[in-house]
């Protein structure tokens, strides 16, 4: 307070001195400074102004103390809040790290599950391949046994023997369906690429007409599928009749029958089907062969086709060949044109190889020849050939029986 008063007093004296005058501002000092000083320092006459100032000073100090106390409490609370905020942030960081670790563990578990599924699929594929190898081994063993036995061509047709009731794992047909499907489709393509060409080369040594050679091979394929399907139906009826006597278990009788057939395909008498195909080809009026040679020369091709066609009947759904007739409209979804075709001709002159279908959908294209006017010229040649060639009484009798309309006369598969 003294410093404040001294400052004010110095200010008043400076202003008074600047005003000047006769007595250098004495009147101003008397009229302004002395009354003010009197009110501030006249504690002898009256102690109220001093007490008032003292009270104001004490109030000001008390408020200042309370303000400092309040500021201190606020600072303490702010520090506590900052500590809680820091702790909360630390806990949140821990929670986020735990979530990241859980997410990483979940992703790792999912990857392990995917790898486990892949391993299971690979194991199943290996099991399927083992089953296919077992089936191929059985086929090879049956071939070896038949090669050591007398030629079936000269043997009498054997009566159906009782089926051996070997043990087989249930559900085998459905478990191996995909792998067997892939194998049989590939085998069908291999026969087209290898055995067909070998048979074509062999036939060219006896027949100079390339069209006749290709017709013979196509009809052999058609008749092989027909004979194999008929043999499969008979074989399935025998198996069903045998297994129905003692069938029990969770699997249906049809599944059990199919599993048995897949397990014991080596019991299929393929030679009987080969003989049936050759008999059908001998009475087919659309093809001819030199009298000194028999269709037995292409029996290896027919045998492989019969085996593949029989195995295709065990698939779910079974595979078959497409229906084809000479003179039909060329269908690019079913056939490829042969290299010597007339690519502007809309009709099929004759077929080289049948198309493979599944549920009426083509999965492997066949091959056909398209030529303008070739269909009619072939029909005229066929009629002249059938009138001029000499036939044995047996072949003549068979041809006279084949004059009735049947799918075989048109060269199409009998379904």
List pLDDT tens digits, range 166-192.
Answer: 444 546 678 888 999 999 999 999 999
Q: What's the pTM?
A: 0.54
Which residues, other chains included, contact 367 with Cβ-Cβ below 8 Å and sequence gap of 6+? Answer: 335, 336, 337, 338, 351, 352, 353
Lowest mean pLDDT among 9-18, 127-136, 387-396: 387-396
- Helix or strand or coil: residue 350? strand
Q: Which residue did the predictor score with more confidence, 65 or 335?
A: 335
Residue 40's pLDDT is: 58
Q: Of 299, 295, 297, nearest to 281 (Cα)?
A: 295
CA distance 216 to 211: 9
Residue 277's pLDDT is: 96
Token output for 159: 């009566």
Lowest mean pLDDT among 33-37, 109-113, 224-228: 33-37
Helix and strand totals (H; E) in the chain: 13, 6
Q: Which residues of 228-245 are buried (b: 16+ CB within 10 A; e: fewer)?
A: bbebbeebbebbbebbee
The sheet carrying 361-364 orders its strands as 319-321, 356-358, 361-364
Token output for 106: 């979940």
One-character DSSP codes across 22-88: TTTSHHHIIIIIHHHHHHHH-TTT--HHHHHHHHHHHHHHHHHHHHHHHHHHHHHHHHHHHHHHHHH
Percentage with pLDDT > 90 across the chain: 36
List pLDDT tens digits, range 61-91.
Answer: 888 788 888 888 888 888 889 898 998 998 8
Give the pLDDT band (50/70/90) at residue 396. very low
List pLDDT tens digits, range 126-149.
Answer: 766 676 666 556 556 555 655 555
Q: Of 366, 351, 411, nearest to 223 (Cα)?
A: 411
Residue 74's pLDDT is: 84
Q: Which residue did the predictor score with more confidence, 393 or 44?
A: 44
Q: Taking 90 as the threshold, does the pLDDT of residue 117 lie above it?
A: no
Residue 61's pLDDT is: 80
């Amino acid at each position: 307070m003294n410093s404040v008063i001294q400052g004010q007093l110095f200010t008043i004296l400076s202003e008074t001195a600047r005003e000047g005058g006769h007595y250098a501002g004495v009147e101003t000092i008397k009229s302004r400074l002395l009354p003010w000083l009197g009110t501030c320092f006249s504690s002898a006459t009256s102690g109220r102004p001093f007490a008032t100032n003292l009270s104001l000073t004490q109030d000001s100090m008390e408020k200042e103390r309370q303000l400092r106390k309040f500021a201190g409490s606020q600072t303490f609370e702010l520090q506590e809040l900052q500590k809680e905020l820091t702790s909360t942030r630390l806990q949140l960081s821990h929670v986020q790290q735990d979530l990241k670790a859980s997410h990483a563990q979940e992703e790792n578990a999912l990857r392990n599950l995917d790898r486990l599924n892949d391993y299971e699929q690979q194991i199943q594929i290996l099991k399927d391949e083992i089953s296919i190898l077992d089936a191929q081994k059985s086929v090879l063993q049956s071939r070896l046994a038949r090669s050591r036995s007398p030629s079936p061509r000269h043997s009498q047709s054997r009566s159906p023997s009782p089926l051996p009731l070997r043990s087989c794992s249930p559900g085998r047909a459905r478990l191996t369906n995909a792998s067997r499907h892939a194998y049989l489709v590939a085998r069908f393509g291999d026969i087209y690429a290898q055995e067909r060409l070998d048979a074509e080369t062999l036939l060219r040594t006896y027949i100079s007409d390339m069209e006749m050679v290709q017709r013979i091979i196509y009809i052999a394929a058609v008749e092989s599928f027909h004979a194999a399907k008929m043999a499969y139906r008979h074989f399935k009826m025998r198996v069903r009749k045998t297994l129905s006597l003692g069938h029990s278990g969770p699997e249906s009788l049809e599944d059990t029958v199919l599993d048995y057939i897949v397990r014991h395909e080596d019991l299929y008498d393929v030679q009987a089907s080969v003989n049936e195909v050759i008999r059908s080809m001998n009475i087919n009026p659309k093809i001819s062969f030199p009298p000194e040679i028999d269709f037995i020369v292409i029996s290896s091709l027919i045998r492989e086709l019969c085996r593949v066609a029989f195995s295709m009947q065990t698939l779910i759904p079974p595979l078959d060949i497409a229906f084809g007739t000479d003179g039909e409209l060329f269908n690019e979804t079913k056939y490829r044109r042969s290299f010597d075709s007339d690519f502007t001709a809309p009709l099929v002159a004759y077929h080289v190889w049948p198309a493979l279908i599944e549920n009426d959908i083509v999965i492997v294209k066949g091959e056909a020849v398209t030529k303008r006017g070739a269909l009619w010229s072939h029909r005229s040649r066929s009629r002249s050939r059938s009138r001029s060639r000499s036939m044995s009484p047996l072949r003549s009798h068979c041809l006279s029986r084949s004059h009735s309309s049947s799918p075989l006369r048109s060269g199409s598969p009998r379904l």
